[in-house]
Amino acid sequence: MSNVVRGLLVACAFGMSAPVIAAEAGAAQPFLQGDIKAGEAKAASCAACHGPKGNSATPAWPKLAGQGAVYVYEQLQQFKEGHRTNAVMAPMAAPLSDQDMQDLAVYFAAQPASPGVASEDAVAIAEPIYRAGIADRGVPACSGCHGPTGAGNPAAAYPRLGGQHAEYAQAQLKAYRAGERKAGAKGLMMSQVAAELTDEEIAALATYISGLQ
């Protein structure tokens, strides 16, 4: 485990503030100069998958409404640069300028997020992991980075999870576990965390976070 990832895990486990987490990651957070109105116009092509105002109705595609702007910006950069791969997103991100990405990021961050619904059966498995982690496997509490209500940490670019589609969340956790998604220090951290989770735990966490709000 790298020192950067170890630092991130410690920061999450002890609920450190955004500046401390960012310092552990050694990554500067960009000051976004996006324009919401410009982002609204540019987001027209995103609606086919991500829904009006970023509230996707398709479980396989993520909701972007209410997502932290820095996180959205970082993910668009990763798609554009090929660090995060997806057959649909790669050609969409390729022509975007840095300003386009900033405009889209602040636009989606400003939109109200739609709620999701959790399965009651998932609570017994997922809630202890989300709130306290799994000590004997070195899994930190999800809430340390993503917040008690799943709102994320926008300043540190830790994504909003609350209300996200369970199908999408489950697919991403499995991608992290398989090492298919591990760009950047936070991606590597999630890959190492997900590697310790079973299929049952991943499925439970995915539906549990969908109901957070």
26 versus 110: the higher-pLDDT residue is 110
pLDDT at 14: 47
Average pLDDT value over all residues in the chain? 89
pLDDT higher than threshold 80 for residue 15:
no
pLDDT at 184: 86
pLDDT at 30: 55
* pLDDT tens string 16-45: 443 333 333 333 345 689 999 999 999 999
Long-range CB pairs of 159-162, under 8 A, 24+ apart, other chains included: 159/67, 159/68, 159/71, 160/66, 160/67, 160/68, 160/71, 160/113, 161/209, 161/212, 162/113, 162/115, 162/116, 162/209, 162/212, 162/213
Question: Would you kindly state where each structural domain of the chain is located, as residue ranges?
Answer: 3-27+116-164+178-210, 36-109
Query: How many angstroms separate the CA atoms of 36 and 33, rounded?
Result: 10
Topology alike, domains 3-27+116-164+178-210 and 36-109: yes
Q: What CATH number should be reported for the domain whose range is 36-109?
A: 1.10.760.10
pLDDT at 21: 36
Q: What is the assigned CATH class of domain 3-27+116-164+178-210?
A: mainly alpha
pLDDT at 183: 85
pLDDT higher than threshold 70 for residue 111:
yes
* pLDDT tens string 115-156: 999 999 999 999 999 999 999 999 999 999 999 999 999 999
**Cβ contacts of residue 162 below 8 Å, gap of 6+?**
113, 115, 116, 149, 150, 151, 209, 212, 213
pLDDT at 11: 52
